[in-house]
Chains A and B, each alone.
Chain A
Amino acid sequence: MQKPSLQLYALQLLAILILLAITTAINHSIFSTLGITGVTLLYLLVVVLAAYFCEFLVASLTAVLAFLAINYFFIEPRYTFEVAHVESWVSLICFLIVSIVVTSLVKQLKFQTLQAATATKHAQFGRTLAENLALAADVDNLLQDTCALLQTEFDKPFGIVQTLENKKYAMQIKSGAIEMPDSSLLNWVLENGKAISPYTNYWSKSAHWLLPFNRLPSLDSIRDPILVVSNISEDDSIEIFSAIKSCVDQISLAYQRLINIEKTKQAELSAQEEAVQNALLASISHDMRTPLTSILGAATTLQQPNLDALQTAHLSALIASQARYLAATTDNILSLVRLESSAQIPMDWQSPEEIIGGVTALYKNRDEIVNFEVHINEPELLIKGNASLLMQALTNLIDNAQKANLHHQPIEIEVGKTDNRINISVNDRGNGFSENFDASHINKFSTSSAKGFGLGLSIVQAIAKSHDTLFTIHNREGGGVSATLSFHAHDVENIDAE
């Protein structure tokens, strides 16, 4: 609680003197009507008002002044401080006692009211802080929100010092104008796990209060944050310091909880990555042996004498086909690795027609006979994307369609626009997927085919995700599958022919 200033005392005293003078004047003018009892009650009213509105000292002085005023002006013999009758003494002393008792009671009432209000405010702050700590989902938000909350509650600037990787300190999270404390102070707090303030007897002249999150001496590798409080004045009581310290303990618990959650997540992620890598290595080592065996077998057969031209051509074609299969698989694995490791994929305006042209040319260059039917339902459509990845996605869908296309029906590639989306579909007339198939549950390295790594659809899905694009697969009426990449249709400014 703040101490009242001398100026406030002087003002209150002046107001009371004026009030007493007015009361005395009124009493004096109508004394004959009021009598001593009425006069005494009016003075008592002044004492009660003083007790309610003024400081205790001023209120007590009012009681004494009122006592003297009654004695001097209204008790016989009047205009002296002498008292003629015993009953007058009794009245005067009773008045003084009642005045002092009332003043004391009002003082106590005021104090209890203030305490109740403070307790309510603290309880409300405690509730808000607890909610904040419980709901915080990440460390930065936790620190930022609690810093702001502390500033509102204690009306002081707060900051949180964290240790960077190079062991330097930074105070990126702060609320209000606050300067970075001296690094020697911060070092001492971390090394000892103790707070700095006048109430701890450590560095009592410091311009800041420093409270460590961790009350134990920090190891070099683990350096928890430090709460910094600024604008410290002599009036700041130990209660405020203790309240802030208790807040730091709560914040520290929530902080440790979030750090532990993050560590657990990181560990789970690492375990998952390791599992995927193991699965990838196992798949590669197992499935690559098949085409390599074919290549080795065909190549060693070619070294045999007396092979006729037909056999030679057949074996050469086998080697070429298996090598292409290995190359395509390597591309798929590389794409997947790139997609999962790349933070930003370069995107540009692409024409679906050109991408499809590129894919059909690719099959032509590979000497693979694929019967395509391309339907571009709307010209001049542009999508935002990465050409290589989109080609990879379409190639994987076409490869799948081709494998399923047992009746050698044409593979349809269709481009169209519906509502606000541009759709590229690859449609086949194969056997289709089972009714339970769900495109969102495609797993890496899982395949329905005896040959292959099961990467094809996973890559399409990853490419779709990187392009913020919908990838859907559904069975077609009349048999077969329709796999669609659905892109958001961006606004392209109108381009004149000139």
Chain B
Amino acid sequence: MPNNKQILIIEDDLQISQFLQSSLKLNAYHSLCASTIAGGKRLFNEHKPVLIILDLNLPDGDGRDFIAYVRASSDIPILVLSARQSELEKVACFDLGADDYLAKPFGVNELLARVKVSLKRTAMMSLRDDLYKLDDLQIDTANNSVLLNKKTVHLTPIEFKLLFTLAKKPGKVFTHRQLLTEVWGAEYVDDTHYLRIHMGRLRARLEKNTAAPRYILTEVGIGYRLATT
């Protein structure tokens, strides 16, 4: 099993941990398991996994502390699993640097799809992080160009900034706060209506069906991400 497919699972519930391991193994991923934050830190430092699946409620602390710990030294994808449903909890995880969030209960297919997306993003970034290409859409952040069906799409400066921010890390969820800070500035973090309107206009230029978007996906109540598959 190649080392670059090692996935670290930090989950204190034995049954969930077991079915996660089985599912990952069936899909050719090698998994490492820890049931505490301390164990997770040890395995993270020793094995340098390619992705972390993290539960939030752990016996020795809150999983969010582990996100902050990892983000201090690494950019590897972190997929959070939690029974906590509150939007504020989710946003807090994304603001700390989590890449994705899956609420319990979840289906294995959905989990595997999210794992795949996160790993693909890492792979894309390692190839060339200034070029995004999916179906008919191509975003070249180095040359400031956006092509749809090989034709240049004319965007306003704010739409460019929004799209390029998302294109920096395709597949990663950017919270409303992160996007507002990045595009408008920190003083605009509460003006979510700016974001909704401009995102609606951007989608109108890029998407065939704005109610079922292909490229710019909504994480309702949290933020947006650029599709990778």
Contact = CB atoms under 8 A, between A and B. Distances in A.
| A interacts with B | yes
Interface of A: 320, 323-324, 327, 331, 334, 346, 348-351, 353-358, 360-361, 365-367, 374, 376, 379-380, 382, 386-388, 391, 413, 492-493, 495, 497-498
Contact of B105 (A327, A355, A356, A413): A327
A357 B192 contact: no
Contacts of B210: 353, 357, 376, 379
A354 B197 CA distance: 11
Query: Could you tell me the dominant secondary structure of chain B's interface residues?
Result: helix
B220 interface: yes
B180 to A, nearest CB: 12
B87 A376 contact: no
26 contacts: A334-B85, A346-B88, A350-B196, A353-B210, A357-B210, A357-B211, A358-B219, A360-B211, A360-B212, A361-B218, A365-B110, A367-B107, A374-B211, A376-B210, A379-B204, A379-B210, A386-B87, A387-B87, A388-B87, A388-B221, A413-B211, A492-B193, A493-B193, A495-B194, A495-B198, A497-B156
A297 to B, nearest CB: 19
Given A353-B200, A382-B196, 20 more contacts: A334-B85, A346-B87, A348-B192, A353-B210, A354-B218, A357-B210, A358-B218, A360-B212, A361-B217, A361-B218, A374-B209, A376-B210, A379-B204, A380-B197, A382-B193, A386-B221, A387-B221, A497-B159, A498-B157, A498-B158
Interface in B164-200: 176, 192-194, 196-200
Most buried by A among B88, B159, B176, B221: B221
Contacts of A495: 193-194, 197-198
Contacts of B157: 498
Given A387-B221, A388-B87, A367 B109 contact: yes
A382 B195 CA distance: 11
Given A349-B192, A358-B220, A376 B110 contact: no
B200 A379 contact: yes
A376 B218 CA distance: 17
B201 interface: yes
Contacts of B220: 354-355, 358, 387-388, 391
A59 to B, nearest CB: 80
A497 B158 contact: yes
Interface residue range, chain B: 20 to 34
Nearest to A492: B193
A376 B176 CA distance: 23
Contacts of A387: 87, 220-221
Contacts of A388: 85, 87, 220-221
B196 A354 contact: yes
Contacts of A349: 192-193, 196
Given A351-B200, A357-B212, A320 B107 contact: yes
Nearest to B221: A387
Contacts of A353: 200, 210-211
Nearest to B107: A320
B61 interface: no
B158 A351 contact: no
A94 B41 CA distance: 121
Contacts of B85: 331, 334, 388
Contacts of B200: 351, 353-354, 379-380
Nearest to B218: A354
Contacts of A492: 193, 197
Nearest to B204: A379
B228 to A, nearest CB: 15
B213 interface: yes
Nearest to B86: A388
Contacts of A358: 218-220
A350 B199 CA distance: 12
A20 B217 CA distance: 106
Contacts of A351: 196, 199-200
B126 to A, nearest CB: 28
A495 B196 CA distance: 11
Nearest to B159: A497
A320 B159 CA distance: 41
Contacts of B107: 320, 324, 365-367
B82 to A, nearest CB: 14
B201 A497 contact: yes
Contact of A356 (B192, B196, B201, B211): B211
Contacts of B110: 365
A324 B201 CA distance: 35
A382 B211 contact: no
